[in-house]
Chain A
């Protein structure tokens, strides 16, 4: 196993000499189907969202649709629920990513050793990631957290209502359970790409295990940690199944994240205009965050990008 950093990086291609228009199109041709497909399926709906966000339109009151300009944006931006949802999204995403990274790192270090049945343990550990997310959420809600017949209270006693008492932790724990294997796999690959000679040399020089870990392993793992955090965030910021299933966003608005809040506006309140305005705001926020995230990505893929 090699890692991204040690991958042989061929010399960058010299800026292409002026090619003919025809040649340029021939080169572009293979890209076009995918590009056009992505633009149609993702960008056209967004334009429609822009249009819908200017409409005062509640689907439960047919025939009362009108142009309202920026009213919807005003409503949404002054609504404290959206701010709460934004905060919850950040908290849930960050919580899930950080804890799964820490656990994933610990497990990766365990699995980096040789022991009897290592491949079996690895198989066991990746299993949570393969369980259907909606099934996982249902399983945790009903079979594990349930105050009367759930597994936690069943084993440890007591009658704590986990979902109501610790709603955020309950959602995060479920997500961490599912995503730790993901982090573990990435970090394990990182650990295994460390050069053994260098580690041995460090040992010979009298460095202890902790020093080696801190001075050599962690810096080496840095880009893997970043990659895991980034990809994890991309997936987890969209968390819907777990919130919808485990807490329904509650109690109060304790676990209502942005996707769920928009869903509520869209298909509980049926305020299509407001939902679209909220959607547009989220997309703008995403673009801002993405610009930063993309910088990280391009750093991570820098070596390859040289081609």
Chain B
């Protein structure tokens, strides 16, 4: 049989699968360029005059603070996560403390607990501390949300540092800082970037905590998005426009850093 023909046939199948999977997203973007009544027409309108009205409407609503809040919460929590997780991962891998696996499992077990189950006290404590509607509250909570992942990821990346090289460095009298800078960092930095990417994505997309803990000053992008749902009027097209905009940063970051995504998502277990 013609091998090449089979291969290209499979290629076509793969292309079809890819398009089917991405189609809802394409539909979202298409809908965002429609007028409201065209967006909700039946049968769906495929040919239409594109309009930027919905985007104008979205931008009219002062989106910038929401995006800035999301950026702040995501970036600062990511930084904090890295700062906390990297030394911890170091203590759990290259210079293991005794009973290290216990703490490793403690971290991951906090990730298994449903957020909702322990949310009420968080809300009450945050309220008592006067920290409701504060970006830094979100930074702290997103940090704790992502910390277990980051510790696991960073640990598996640090394990890749060849011990011999590290020990050789020590024999040569290199201090801790030097060996971090010269040996560990170059090997680990791709992993660091993968970790940061994953933490950023999860923080950016988080909805439940943001909905319940922020109000007017520190609301994040997902909250901005749901503001376009109306119980007394058509909203699909503008919702799609808003969804396209708020999804864009993560989409771009994820597309550009696909290879990092795999390692990050599997907590470093898969290269």
Contacts and interface: CB of A to CB of B under 8 A. Distances in A.
Nearest to A262: B116
Given A186-B270, A294-B108, A115 B222 contact: no
Interface in B129-182: 140-141, 143-144, 147-148, 151, 155-156, 159, 163
Interface string A266-305: 1100001001101110110011011001100110110011
Q: Is the interface of B mostly helix, strand, loop or mixed?
A: helix
Contact of B225 (A107, A114, A135): A135
Contacts of B143: 37, 41
Contact of A279 (B110, B117, B144, B207): B117
B43 interface: yes
Contact of B118 (A42, A111, A114, A186): A42
Interface string B82-121: 0011011011110111101101011111111111111111
B44 A151 contact: yes
A101 to B, nearest CB: 14
Nearest to A89: B114
A125 B105 contact: no
Nearest to A137: B207
A132 B106 CA distance: 28
Interface in B163-211: 163, 201, 204-205, 207-208
Given A124-B21, A130-B255, A231-B266, A110 B109 contact: no
Nearest to A130: B254
Given A41-B144, A301-B269, A132 B24 contact: no
Contacts of A293: 112
A201 interface: no
A7 B116 CA distance: 38
A143 B240 contact: yes
A2 interface: yes
Interface residues of A, number: 112
A33 B222 contact: no
A33 B110 contact: no
Q: Is the interface of A mostly helix, strand, loop or mixed?
A: helix
A134 interface: yes
Contacts of B92: 31
A249 interface: no
Interface stretch (A63-71, A75-83, A232-240): A232-240
Interface string B59-85: 000000000000000000000000011
B7 A113 contact: yes
Contacts of B13: 110
Contacts of A204: none
12 contacts: A34-B88, A117-B15, A131-B28, A134-B207, A139-B243, A142-B236, A143-B28, A181-B21, A227-B269, A241-B208, A279-B118, A286-B114
Interface of A: 1-4, 10, 13, 16, 24, 27-31, 33-35, 37-38, 41-42, 44-46, 48-49, 52, 106-107, 110-111, 113-118, 120-136, 138-140, 142-144, 148-149, 151, 153-155, 177, 180-182, 185-186, 188-190, 193, 224, 227-228, 231, 234, 237-238, 240-241, 258-260, 262-263, 266-267, 272, 275-276, 278-280, 282-283, 286-287, 289-290, 293-294, 297-298, 300-301, 304-305, 307
